[in-house]
Amino acid sequence: MYSVNEIKKGLEEKEFSTVEIVREYLEKIKKKDDKIKSFITLREEEALKEAEETDKKIASGKKLKILEGIPIGLKDNIATKGLKTTCSSKILEDFIPPYDAGAAIKIKEKGGIILGKLNMDEFAMGSSTENSAFFDTKNPWDLERVPGGSSGGSAAAVSAGFAPITYGSDTGGSVRIPASFCGVVGLKPTYGLVSRYGLIALASSLDQIGPFGKSVEDCIYGLKGVQGFDEKDSTSKDVKMPDYFKEIKKGIKGLKVGVPEEFFAHGIDKEVKEKVEYNIKILEKLGAHVEKFSLPITATGLSAYYIVSSAEASSNLGRYDGVRYGVRTDEYKSFKELIVKSRTEGFGEEVKRRIMLGTYALSSGYYDAYYKRAMIFRKKVEKLFDEAFEKYDVVVSPTLPVLPFKLGEKRSNPMEMYLSDTFTVNINLAGIPAVSVPAGFSKEGLPIGIQFIGDKFREDILFRFAYALEQEIKLNLNPWKEGR
Amino acid sequence: MGAYETVIGLEIHVELGTKSKIFCGCSTKFGSKANENTCPVCIGLPGVMPVLNEKVVELAVKAGQAINCKINKINKTDRKNYFYPDLPKAYQISQFDMPVCSDGYLELGDKFQGKKVGITRIHIEEDAGKLIHLEDEDVTLIDYNRAGVPLVEIVTEPDIRSAEEAYNFLKKLRNILVYSEISDCKMEEGSLRCDANISIRKVGSDVLNTKVEIKNMNSFKEVHKALLKEEKRQLELYRYGEEHKIVQETRRWDAGKGRTITMRTKEDAHDYRYFPEPDLPPMILEKKYIDDIKSSIPELPMKKMERFVRDYGLLQKDAEVIIDEKSTADYFEDLVLKTKDPKESSNWLITEVLRSLKEYDEIPVTSKQLSELIKEIKSGSISRNAGKKVFDKMCTSDKMPEKVIIELGLKQISSEGELEKIVGEILDNNIEAVEDFKSGKGKAFGFLMGQSMKATKGKANPGVVKKLLEEKLKK
């Protein structure tokens, strides 16, 4: 379909109207999402009405805001006022929030037109979107494969051309993993750069909303649409960010790249490894200084991540008790029975598994052995990254150790599923930003992603690398055989 | 039984006097329509986040300083996880290992030789909602107006040795909190709630034996009663060698039946799975912030009492009565300012004014009314007894005493000319009494006084009457 710049230009030069654009996207979704299954809820009528308003604005010659008229998709854990927000869970099947998430407010204020809500792993727990209580989303590059997760719907929708920008949330890789699998650009911003208010929490100290785009520029538009301080989120930060569009033109000549050896070690798919190493060579060719170093955090980081995130999740998900909203069991004789039965019926397997894991990790007698140790390791990860960024402008790795796997392949083996997150979780533990950029394809034609990791609030550097690489390798990212 | 002593520690929950809740902008007003003061944040809808009301920290720091606590520089919150329908998020945001204040003390009154009761800690937390069980139907309703109302929990050391000391401690603590405008401390509205831990041990021992927690005491008097009752129950078990029957449990005080009943035992104790609240970054309290709050604490009850004794010459026992309620003490100071007569002001306060408080919720007579009344009495315009009648009348009227005196016809007759005539008549009509007096029976003088007062319906100035009688009887 179109890039954000193409839409902006078309609207400004009155090549087409906003209504036409929005209708075109909606029609494409209706025609093709049967195959992909990325949307849970479509917001047709309101989107077209908002498009009409935008057209009136354009006709009256008013200055257009940054996302004006741009079709947007949101992961279904970002609260939208008056629009069903399910977290892909049965327990919130009919939940309609009476408020907008901080990010949704910013998107609306900046003129974005929300087309609908996108499928995900239930409560963002998963790496394949197979944990959705409603249906599986397919990888647009191979309909028998998973799109990655947990923001699989958001990544697949951008890849399939259902919206130029979508948003997901990334707690341990949930934006970068599906971005890599679907061959799109996906950013996990610095913790605190985007408001978490109204993002239905998985793990509050790790969650961050991030944008998807087919190009680095679209991804930048996505970030600019939501970044910035929100007084309703006490963990959001007020930081002045540079103009990314200016920054990306600077290139990467002279910048220093650290390559952590452990991120290329055993267990990694050979094709993934080779493709990423090939791309690193390109970075060198573009003038960056590349150096290997040791960052021994992958294995322990994964354990620490699953303890911390499950602990927080076990607490965050306590509120789904059937008392005030969401699914309530039909028959019960006591408070206890009401709560136990509602949760048993409302939650899926993976959610229950993590609630138990997290509850255990926080229990008296086990707290020190699990949660506390994990938090100590978390501090160490932060410190090691701090040290790395004293030496390097960016750290580079594969986004995942594996290629997109088949639907059902890992569904029954949670441990193997968790291993897909090995290269992404430490970034969330450290609170730093990282972006997954398409690096090429496997022999079978499956997308492979490269991950650029940066220091806190240095999204500008990440975009410089992502853009430099993108412009150099110029991949065809359209998964449809019949053209866009 | 003198060989045993009682060991008591208290946990007091106090609602802080902020206008809005601890993590959202909802009102904390008591008595609103059910669920009127709620929003997505305080009913815990998905994705919403708390924003700490800084006033809560300020008031907690103030409370800590008022009872001699150390103020901790890092103010971190934690989640206390448990399921209950009145707790919307299934966790309470509280403080676990780093409370705002710790290591303080409060001094008991003179009666207890100024004994110090240690304060272990003060921490901030949010209140839960309220369940309403319908009587006739099998239905429970939930009112979340109270969910998110800010609380401090004040925990004492097990330093209290009797129900009496506990009662005195609570009164002292409440006074301090009301004086410092930290809370209105109304137990009947639930803005102050007290749980007590109690155990028994041999005198001289410093072990802490199995304790029982008592809940649901709705006034300080109930705390006193419940502790006496529980003390008695435990002592009896010790007396019969059955102290093993004292188990760690929570007992509910049933005020109607006057006894405690088992609520839950140790086996059903919760594991609250505390961990740091990730939605709220720790707040660092700067020294200046702490010092500024300290200097904002007004004069506390003990200091005020000392000043009343020193500057106004009050008896300590009178001063103690006056400072017992901040509003009464403020009234008193206002009255003294107007009358310039502390002694007389204090007399009126501890008699008529306090008596009126048994009938009215607040002092029904303004300090201006009362000061005018005191002036009328001092000027001899009315008698002290008539003054009490004027006071009673003013309780239901905002008229000034001058008007009330006229309306009630209480103006005192002080004119010697007028009274001389009356006294003369009394003497003429009671020759026998006059004779008695002259023959040395002093009692007769009182009778003649009484007759003169009666003749004027009590309006005669007794001083003048006395003077006239003495003069005439000497003749």
Mean pLDDT over all residues of chain B? 92
In this predicted model, what pLDDT tens digit does every residue of A338-378 receive, in sequence order? 999 999 999 999 999 999 999 999 999 999 999 999 999 99
- ipTM metric: 0.95
For A231, the closest of B43, B45, B51 (CB atoms) is B51
In this predicted model, what pLDDT tens digit does every residue of B359-389 receive, in sequence order? 888 899 999 999 999 998 888 788 788 889 9
In this predicted model, what pLDDT tens digit does every residue of A94-144 receive, in sequence order? 999 999 999 999 999 999 999 999 999 999 999 999 999 999 999 999 999
Distances (CA, A) of A436 to A175, A181, A366: 8, 10, 36
* Total CB pairs under 8 A between chain A and B: 99
Mean pLDDT over all residues of chain A? 97
**Taking Cα atoms as reference points, which of A116, A129, A140, A155 lies closest to residue A32?**
A140
Residue numbers in A near B47 (CB within 8 A): 77-79, 97, 101, 197-201
In a 3-state reduction of DSSP, which class is residue A360? helix
Q: Which is the catalytic residue, given A174, A180, A310, A314?
A: A174
A364 touching chain B per CB within 8 A? yes
- For CA atoms A278, A283, A286, A287, the dihedral sign is negative
| pLDDT range class, residue B24, cuts 50, 70, 90 | very high
**Taking Cα atoms as reference points, which of A189, A183, A248, A179 lies closest to residue A212?**
A179
Domains of chain B: 4-291 (no CATH), 301-408 (no CATH), 416-474 (1.10.10.410)
Q: What is the DSSP letter of A121?
A: S
- Interface subset of A 212-241, CB within 8 angstroms of B: 231-235
Please compute the mean of the pLDDT values over residues B54-81 and round it to a whole number: 96
Distances (CA, A) of A426 to A355, B164, B306: 21, 58, 62
Inter-chain contact B44–A233, Cβ cutoff 8 Å? Answer: no
Starting at the edge strand that comes first in sequence, how are the strands of the sheet with B70-71 ordered? B70-71, B101-107, B116-126, B150-156, B4-15, B192-202, B212-217, B249-254, B259-265
Q: Is A89 a catalytic residue?
A: no
Total tally of structural domains belonging to chain A: 1
Residue numbers in B near A117 (CB within 8 A): none
Specify the CATH number for the domain of residue A53.
Answer: 3.90.1300.10
pLDDT score for A33:
98
Residue B202's identity, in one-letter code, is K
Q: Which two tokens stand for residue A60?
A: 């009256």
Q: Is A420 a catalytic residue?
A: no
**Taking Cα atoms as reference points, which of A128, A126, A36, A33 lies closest to residue A406?**
A128
For B273, the closest of A205, A336, A363 (CB atoms) is A363
pLDDT score for B254:
93
SS (HEC) of A326-350: CCCCCCCCCHHHHHHHHHHHHCCHH
Q: Which domain holds residue A43?
A: 1-484
pLDDT score for B2:
56
**Taking Cα atoms as reference points, which of B102, B89, B99 lies closest to residue B279?**
B89
Q: Which two tokens stand for residue A397?
A: 């790795």
User: For an interface test with A, which of B139, B266, B270, B279 has the most A Cβ atoms less than 10 Å from its Cβ?
Assistant: B279
pLDDT of A166 strictly over 90: yes
Residue numbers in B near A311 (CB within 8 A): 275
Q: What is the DSSP letter of B350?
A: I
Inter-chain contact B51–A324, Cβ cutoff 8 Å? Answer: no
A303 touching chain B per CB within 8 A? no
In this predicted model, what pLDDT tens digit does every residue of B272-297 receive, in sequence order? 999 999 999 999 999 999 999 999 99
In a 3-state reduction of DSSP, which class is residue A53? helix
Beta bridge partners of A117: A41, A74
B275 touching chain A per CB within 8 A? yes
Q: Tell me if B146 sits within 8 A of B129, measured CB to CB.
A: yes
pLDDT score for B1:
46
Inter-chain contact A321–B50, Cβ cutoff 8 Å? Answer: no
Inter-chain contact B51–A371, Cβ cutoff 8 Å? Answer: no
Inter-chain contact B47–A77, Cβ cutoff 8 Å? Answer: yes
Inter-chain contact B273–A312, Cβ cutoff 8 Å? Answer: no
- Interface subset of A 73-112, CB within 8 angstroms of B: 77-79, 85, 87, 92, 95, 97-99, 101
Residue numbers in A near B43 (CB within 8 A): 324
pLDDT of A302 strictly over 90: yes
Output the pTM of the full model.
0.90
pLDDT score for A482:
67
pLDDT score for A106:
98
Shortest Cα–Cα distance, A344 to chain B (Å):
15
Q: Is A205 a catalytic residue?
A: no
- Which runs of consecutive H residues, i.e. helices, occur in B349-400? 354-356, 367-378, 384-394
Q: Which is the catalytic residue, given A38, A88, A127, A150?
A: A150
> What is the tally of helices (H) and strands (E) in chain B?
16, 16
Shortest Cα–Cα distance, A233 to chain B (Å):
6
> How many CB atoms neighbour CB B369 within 10 A?
20
Distances (CA, A) of B339 to B131, B306, B325: 51, 21, 21
Which DSSP string corresponds to B76-123? Answer: --EEEE---TT-TTSEEEE-SSS-SEEEEEEE--GGGTT-EEEEEEEE
A319 touching chain B per CB within 8 A? yes
B273 touching chain A per CB within 8 A? yes
Inter-chain contact A99–B48, Cβ cutoff 8 Å? Answer: yes
